[in-house]
Amino acid sequence: MAEKMAMAKAINESLRRALETDPKVLVMGEDVGKLGGVFRVTDGLQKDFGESRVIDTPLAESGIVGAAIGLALRGYRPVVEIQFDGFVFPAYDQIVTQLAKMHARSLGKVKMPVVVRIPYGGGIGAVEHHSESPEALFAHVAGLKIVSPSNASDAYWMMQQAIQSDDPVIYFEPKRRYWDKSEVDFEAIPAPLHKAQVVREGTDLTLAAYGPMVKLCQEVANAAAEEGKSLEVLDLRSVSPLDFDAIQASVEKTRRLVVVHEAPVFFGSGAEIAARITERCFYHLEAPVLRVGGYHAPYPPARLEEEYLPDLDRVLDAVDRSLAY
């Protein structure tokens, strides 16, 4: 049974299925109840599952994550919503010092099946703190798993898998893709949560991206094809763990790699990918691994975000530079 739907709706359906099948699953966050979240991702869930399963919390992110940890200790599987990327920081302490480390601290006795949903990234013309991409700040912390779907089908299935995981998963939702529609097969056998996927085959260069930038990279590949260049597009899907085997396989074929993300390039996930792939594929590479991303500057006001965010031209530019080596 397959259906075409928007990513936000796919996440909603996935949460619904989890609430239906597992009485221990809870949905928590600010405005997730009657309002259905500011993006309506949790629309209708409280109506159908009640206030004890779909919980409007006080306006306190540290409280939301800290309480979710306690609920997990008690056998629940909370899926918490942080309203926007920039508001996860009041909860950063709980996530980094507690959620990430509880399993190790308890010598494996305690599981932390908590999913932290964070709508992230820019491109929607919002005010400060509503457009950031803080994934690298979390990827640096051992004990957290970090994923970001790029389409409705992955959004659906990766949420199922994240909820089933006994590890804490930070689930970054590319908010500017919420309204993009694609096919979701509800009976599919999904790819493993942390496996990258080739979404377009190519031979001249690999574009690696996740979340909001996958669609852009597909557009870049289309544009490059018109110029006679064959680009392979890899949807990484998971930032931690990262599927280096998939990147390596692609790079061994194309010999060139450009990594694209919205977050600042400096100390970003692209840096880690570049370093590892250089180690793994040194003799295959025809060009240094290039990165396209945000600048070492605060995320700018809405009227400058077009300049700040990677776009078709900037990625094509990097492609040209790589091919010129």
Partner 1 sequence: MTVDSSAARQPRRSAAGKAGTTGSKRTTRTTAPRAKKSTEPELVQLLTPEGKRVKNAEYDAYVAGITPEDLRGLYRDMVLTRRFDAEATALQRQGELGLWASLLGQEAAQIGSGRALRDDDYVFPTYREHGVAWCRGVDPTNLLGMFRGVNNGGWDPNGNNFHLYTIVIGSQTLHATGYAMGITKDGADSAVIAYFGDGASSQGDVAESFTFSAVYNAPVVFFCQNNQWAISEPTEKQTRVPLYQRAQGFGFPGVRVDGNDVLACLAVTKWALERARSGDGPTLVEAYTYRMGAHTTSDDPTRYRADDERVAWEAKDPILRLRRYLEASNHADEGFFAELEAESEALGKRVREAVRAMPDPDHFAIFENVYADGHALVDEERAQFAAYQASFADAAEGGR
- Tell me which residues touch partner 1 (CB under 8 A): 30-31, 33-36, 38, 51-52, 56-60, 62-63, 86-87, 89-90, 125-129, 266, 295-298, 300-304, 307-308, 313-314, 317
- Partner in contact with 304, chosen from partner 1, ligand TPP, none, beta carbon below 5 to 8 Å by kind: partner 1
Query: Least CB distance from residue 243 to partner 1, whole Å?
Result: 29
Beta carbon nearer to partner 1, 295 or 325? 295
Query: Least CB distance from residue 173 to ligand TPP, whole Å?
Result: 16
Three-state helix/strand/coil letters over the chain: CEEEEEHHHHHHHHHHHHHHHCCCEEEEECCCCCCCCCCCCCCCHHHHHCCCCEEECCCCHHHHHHHHHHHHHCCCEEEEECCCHHHCHHHHHHHHHHHCCHHHHCCCCCCCCCEEEEEECCCCCCCCCCCCCCHHHHHCCCCCEEECCCCHHHHHHHHHHHHHCCCCEEEEEEHHHCCCEEEEECCCCCCCCCCCEEEECCCCEEEEECCHHHHHHHHHHHHHHHCCCCEEEEECCEEECCCHHHHHHHHHHHCCEEEEEEEECCCCHHHHHHHHHHHHHCCCCCCCCEEEEECCCCCCCHHHHHHHCCCHHHHHHHHHHHHCC
User: How far is residue 20's CA from residue 242's CA, in Å, rounded to a whole number?
Assistant: 31
**If binding is defined by CB under 6 A, does position 85 make contact with ligand TPP?**
no
Residue of 2, 23, 51, 59 that binds ligand TPP (CB under 6 A): 59
**If binding is defined by CB under 6 A, does position 30 make contact with ligand TPP?**
yes
Residue 194 annotated among the catalytic residues of the structure: no
| Piece of 82-90, 131-139, 145-153, 301-309 that binds ligand TPP (CB under 6 A) | 82-90
- Partner in contact with 317, chosen from ligand TPP, partner 1, none, beta carbon below 5 to 8 Å by kind: partner 1
- Partner in contact with 108, chosen from ligand TPP, partner 1, none, beta carbon below 5 to 8 Å by kind: none
> Cβ–Cβ contacts within 10 Å for residue 2, how many?
11
| Piece of 83-91, 178-186, 196-204, 253-261 that binds ligand TPP (CB under 6 A) | 83-91
Identified catalytic residue from 129, 130, 284, 296: 130
Query: Least CB distance from residue 253 to partner 1, whole Å?
Result: 28
Beta carbon nearer to partner 1, 36 or 212? 36
* Six token digits for residue 71: 């609920």
Query: Least CB distance from residue 35 to ligand TPP, whole Å?
Result: 10
Beta carbon nearer to ligand TPP, 58 or 228? 58
**If binding is defined by CB under 6 A, does position 83 make contact with ligand TPP?**
yes
* List of residues contacting ligand TPP (CB under 6 A): 30, 59, 61, 83, 87, 90
